[in-house]
Amino acid sequence: MPVLFPLVTSSLLFAIGVYVVLARRHAILVLMGVELMLNAINLNLVAFDALWHDALDAGQSLSLFVIAIAAAEIGLGLAIVLLVFRTHRHINVDELRELADRDDTLASAADGAATS
């Protein structure tokens, strides 16, 4: 089997993950995009492990590590998403602008909300 089969598949999956992260507004969909990208990388690691017959099984071991890190990431990410939902009543990433550099009207509106 040509090694291009898995490599092209993982490239396309990674690109779809990039699109999901950039184009979606719902925070949980953004997390799904991250999962797609991590899976594309795992496929690459496994393919190169099979290509180079690695004596340490580096590709497969690293893909296990990536899966564990992805599990940790999704746990923390969903905790943050639930916290955002509790404080904002929505999880639309386009409207979560508290950390942005604000203009005057937004800043005064936020001050008014804080004092009231």
Partner 1 sequence: MTAVEVLFSLLSAMAIGSALLVALSSDLVHCALWLVVTLGSLAGLYLLLAAEFVAWVQVLIYVGAVVVLLLFALMLTRAPIGALSGLDNSTRGLAAVVAVATAAVLVTTFASGFRDARLEIRARDVGSAGTLGATLFTSWALPFEILSLLLLAALVGAIVLSRHQEPD
In the complex with partner 1, which residue's Cβ is closer, 22 or 104?
22
SS3 state at 92 = strand
Residue type, 78: L
Confirm if 3 and 44 have CB atoms less than 8 A apart: no
Nearest to 90 by CA among 27, 44, 40: 27
In the complex with partner 1, which residue's Cβ is closer, 69 or 108?
69
For the bound state, the minimum distance from the C-beta of residue 38 to partner 1, rounded and expressed in Å, comes to: 9
In the complex with partner 1, which residue's Cβ is closer, 39 or 113?
39
Planar angle of CA 64, 68, 72, nearest 5 degrees: 165
Confirm if 5 and 15 have CB atoms less than 8 A apart: no
Residue 106: Cβ within 10 Å count = 12
Which residues of the shown chain bind partner 1 in the complex (CB under 8 A)? Answer: 1-9, 11-20, 22-26, 28-29, 31-33, 35-36, 39, 42-43, 46-47, 49-51, 53, 56-57, 59-61, 63-65, 67-76, 78-83, 85, 91, 94
For the bound state, the minimum distance from the C-beta of residue 113 to partner 1, rounded and expressed in Å, comes to: 15
In the complex with partner 1, which residue's Cβ is closer, 96 or 108?
96
For the bound state, the minimum distance from the C-beta of residue 64 to partner 1, rounded and expressed in Å, comes to: 6
